[in-house]
Amino acid sequence: MESSWSSLGGSLGSADPQLQRFMEAEVQKQRVQLLIHHMTELCWEKCMDKPGPKLDSRAELCLVNCVERFIDTSQFILNRLEHTHKAKPFFSQNLSD
């Protein structure tokens, strides 16, 4: 999905700059959609015990918190990797070898 979309955008974009911008925007939208699908799956597993006749407020709050914490987790992981990388020049040096 990802690579074919990118290459498609590239090949079509050579014909028309308007089309190129359009394809780039659509690819970005698709990334967001896939992330939402992924988070829905994860948060469904965490928050939905037995599906009832309505989405109760406890489950809804859990879903919202789940999304927020997923994003916080992603940011934490990226931030920590960045700092670890800077704090350990030896590790960094090894990595670049």
Partner 1 sequence: MDSGFGSDFGGTGGGKLDPGAIMEQVKVQIAVANAQELLQRMTDKCFRKCIGKPGGSLDNSEQKCIAMCMDRYMDAWNTVSRAYNSRLQRERANM
Binding-site ranges for partner 1 (CB under 8 A): 1, 4, 8, 12, 15-16, 18-19, 22-23, 26, 29-30, 32-37, 39-41, 43-44, 47-48, 50-53, 55, 60, 63-64, 66-68, 71
Q: Between 15 and 95, whose beta carbon lies closer to partner 1? A: 15
What six digits make up the tokens of 67?
């999304």
Shortest reach from residue 56's CB to partner 1, in Å: 10
Token pair recorded at residue 81: 């990797």
**Pairwise CA distance, residues 29 & 9, whole Å:** 13
Closer to partner 1 by CB, 68 or 84: give it. 68
Q: Which amino acid, 59? A: A
Tokens of residue 89, six digits: 């020049």
Kindly state the smallest distance separating residue 34's Cβ from partner 1, in Å: 7
Q: How far apart are the first and last CA of the chain?
A: 33
